[in-house]
């Protein structure tokens, strides 16, 4: 029976980072939707893969690709969510433009009927 890999069983190594590097790692890890630890590991594996031919470096491209695909899937989902929100905002803007046109044309009764419906649509 093989041991499962957990953060408790992982090797730990303290590293002194030059000033500003922690912030840079935090930035790039956020952009790639990874933890700082995962970002550091991915970059180390990529660097080792470029410089050596050992077993760890042979695994690095696959690991990096898996993380990249996961990040791409997350970004795609977020883009879809943003597009849906944009469509909803555009629909509400169109309704508001119609209400404004009705108000300017003096059709107050049309406006009074549509305002509650617009509020309900915004809460949906």
Instruction: Check residue 5 and give left, alpha or beta (phi > 0: left; psi -120 to 50: alpha).
Output: beta
Q: Residue 82 has which token pair? A: 């943003």
Return the domain boundaries, the chain. Answer: 21-123
Q: Residue 97 has which token pair? A: 């433009």
Contact 57, 48 (CB under 8 A): yes
pLDDT, tens digit (0-9, with 9 covering 90-100), for 76-104: 989 999 999 999 999 999 999 888 887 78
Digitized pLDDT (tens) for each residue of the chain, 124 residues in all: 455 667 778 888 888 989 999 999 999 889 888 889 888 988 888 888 777 655 544 555 556 677 778 888 888 989 999 999 999 999 999 999 888 887 787 765 655 555 555 555 555 4
User: Exposure pattern of 34-68 as b/e (b: 16+ CB <10 Å)?
Assistant: beeeebbbbeebeebbeeeeeeebeebeebbeebe
Q: Residue 18 has which token pair? A: 């030059």
């Amino acid at each position: 029976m093989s041991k499962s890999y957990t953060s408790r069983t992982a090797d730990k190594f303290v590293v002194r980072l030059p000033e500003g590097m922690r912030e840079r790692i935090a930035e790039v890890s956020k952009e790639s939707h990874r933890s700082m630890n995962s970002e550091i590991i991915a970059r180390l594996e990529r660097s080792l893969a470029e410089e050596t031919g050992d077993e760890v470096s042979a695994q690095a491209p696959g690991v990096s690709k898996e993380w990249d695909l996961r990040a791409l899937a997350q970004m795609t989902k977020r883009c879809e969510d943003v597009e849906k929100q944009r469509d909803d905002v555009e629909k509400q803007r169109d309704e508001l433009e119609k209400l404004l046109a009705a108000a300017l044309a003096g059709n107050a009764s049309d406006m009074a009927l549509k305002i509650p419906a617009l509020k309900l649509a915004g809460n949906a």
